[in-house]
Amino acid sequence: MRCLCFLLLLASPVRAQTRAVKPLRFDATAIPATRDSFLFFVDRTQRGYAVWQYEVRKADKGEQVVYTQFSELQPLEQEEQRVVIDRATGRPVSFFYHLEMFSPASDTILVEVDVTLKQGVVDGRRSASLKAGGNQTVPVHRELPEDAVFGSYELLAAAVTNANPGETLAVPAYRETHDSLVTLTMTAGQPTSVRVPAGRFDVLPLSSGDFRVYVTRVAPRRVVKGETSDGRFTFELARSGPAIPSTP
């Protein structure tokens, strides 16, 4: 089992579409400044947690949304992530990812991705440390379509899409951990309500590949629940609070 971000990146769909879809867009101005705590469940047993934080910061030109995430899936993995987004345009700015694995079955004990998007080109590195010793580092340099987003938007920005009930939407997406360009597709279900440790919420289900998230559609817009299609892995909102300023 992977931690949440890595699980989603592996499961993201790369399927040809058989019907017309409309462009998938993300409204970063609707992302609230908040700190959300989640619980992980595997086969209905609590196995870990995640903390997501969104900050709004001044930049050289306008404002940025800074998303940070820390999660732990017991007893095997810890994950950290930091994504910077231009608040006005929703365009990605940078991505950092750090995953530590403690499984005896894995030869890899650490994975890092550190990339920046400038003038339509992603530059940076992907690296891994091996249990047997040694490091592997691969440079990253890839041109992206003008409307491409990062694959991590599938989770961190799911609550601020332009999806309406019953619609299927798609956008080019750069899959950060694989250094590849895919099509990120989301299908909206019908409005419903869910109960999680933080309370009861009216939500819109959004399915992408083998994963589904439940998002609120009124302010403050946020993800309150996610689950794999087989129901074995879920995460649920436990509490929300004000963002804590982090180091730039």
pLDDT tens, position by position, for the chain (248 residues)?
Answer: 345 554 554 444 444 444 557 999 999 999 999 999 999 999 999 999 999 999 999 998 899 999 999 999 987 789 999 999 999 999 999 999 999 887 666 666 889 999 999 999 999 999 998 877 788 999 999 999 999 999 999 999 999 999 999 999 999 999 999 999 999 999 999 999 999 999 999 999 999 999 999 999 999 999 999 999 999 999 999 999 999 988 77
Residue 56's pLDDT is what? 96
Residue 76 CB coordination number (10 Å): 18
- Measured CA to CA, the distance from residue 174 to residue 160 in angstroms comes to 19
Q: How many domains does the chain have?
A: 1
pLDDT score at 5: 53
Fill in the amino acid letter for 131.
K
Structural domain harbouring 182: 4-241
Position 248 in a domain: no
Cis upstream peptide for 75 (omega within 30°): yes
Predicted local confidence at residue 22, as pLDDT: 92
Query: Peptide bond preceding 13: is omega within 30 degrees of 0, i.e. cis?
Result: no
CA pair distance 10, 192, nearest whole angstrom: 27
- Pair 85, 65: CB distance under 8 Å: yes
CA atoms within 13 A on the CB side of 210: 12
User: Does the residue 98 lie in any domain?
Assistant: yes
The total number of residues written for the chain in this structure = 248
Residue 246 lies in a domain: no
Residue 18 falls inside a structural domain: yes
In a domain, 247, yes or no: no
- Given this model, what pLDDT does residue 6 score? 46
In-domain check, residue 140: yes
What's the number of CA atoms in the CB half-sphere (13 Å) around residue 217? 17
Q: Residue 109: what pLDDT?
A: 83
